[in-house]
Structure 1
Amino acid sequence: MPKVTSKPTTIEHVDLDVLEDTLSFYIRTMNIAVSRDLDARLDGCEVARGTGKITTLLLVDSHPGIRPSVIAQIIMKDRSAMGRLIEQMIEHDLLRRQTSASERRAQELYVTPKGAELAAMIRPIVTKQSKDFFSFIAEEEQAQVMDILRRAYRKMVGMTGERD
């Protein structure tokens, strides 16, 4: 256990202990900061607040008929959480669900006209937010971090092969 030398009164006086050299600490805190910033930019949109709505909307818009289980794997949500997310998006008239013609037990997802309009609106916002938020990091360094995180992510979710 580390020895506490003083009671910090400002952030500058805090020693982060083992967190200083822990990648997961920085990833978790960056996730919170990025999410807050994006939520502020999407204030009032049905996909603001919470995780998975933007990705789900964009994936369904890009891949009509995609199955909820595929999206769940991509966004790392369990079946019940994915079900709640989809129900919420259906209630907001962003998605519709349909039974697969080829496999009766399988469900397919499609965007509604409202969902397609929202997807088109948020794509540039999401892209600009990422560029703006990380503008203090040189583009070459951003590309390096993106490459590392992309490879880690693809391995975690089981995506094999090169990026399409």
Structure 2
Amino acid sequence: MPKVTPKPTTIEHVDLDVLENTLSFYIRTMNIAVSRDLDERLEGYDVARGTGKITTLLLVDSHPGIRPSVIAQIIMKDRSAMGRLIDQMIEHGLLTRQTSERERRAHELFVTPKGAELAATIRPIVTEQSKDFFSFIAEEEQAQVMDILRRAYRKMVGMTGEQH
């Protein structure tokens, strides 16, 4: 007669199977939790909900004239998804797109005054959210995790050299 295991009625009774020792499981679930928390803090702002808007706004604000293809590589979005994201941000009055004077087929992105104001508003929110969300992890451990994730990320997107 096969062994019958009781059905879990609470989270404490669930065995995570191979996921227990799978880094990707924890990274995916942490991404969901961090995103939800950040979305709550940014509720009502044009960059809430969805991925890539915050990074796009901050990169365009920091690097006027940056090309959409560069941002797409940084946030790991394909060309069509990046195009939709930029169109949405233009519709919300956060960015403008201009044809490059040097390369007629290339586009460059710039923040509008509204976009610059929003970037200035969300920078401290994003920084504080990360600090608060991971406050249960000691700062030196956070620094270690940040170093590991930074190196992995930079390798995945093809960035070279150290930058902190």
* SS at structure 2 position matched to 1:108: strand
> Within 5 Å, which residues of 2 pair with 1:34-113?
34-113=34-113
* Secondary structure of 2:110's aligned partner: strand
Question: Structure 1: how far apart are the matches of 2:162 and 2:87?
Answer: 33
Distance (whole Å) between structure 2 residues aligned to residue 5 and residue 25 of structure 1: 24
Distance 1:54 1:5, change over 3 A: same
Map 1:77-156 onto structure 2 (within 5 A). 77-156=77-156
Aligned partner of 2:154: which letter?
A: R
Rate the CA distance shift 1:4–1:31 in 2: closer, same or farther, 3 A.
farther
Kindly tell me: are residues 149 and 4 of structure 1, through their superposed partners in 2, closer, same or farther at Cα, counting changes over 3 Å? farther
Task: Name 2:19's counterpart in structure 1.
Answer: 19
> In structure 2, what is the Cα distance between the partners aligned to 1:162 and 1:75?
18
Query: What is the count of residue pairs matched by the alignment?
Result: 162
Q: Deviations over 1:6-30 (max 9, x none)?
A: 2000000000000000000000000
Tell me the distance in 2 between the aligned counterparts of 1:30 and 1:59: 24
Q: Return the TM-score normalized by structure 1.
A: 0.97
- Of all paired residues, the percent bearing the same amino acid is 90
- Give the gaps of 5 or more residues in structure 1: none
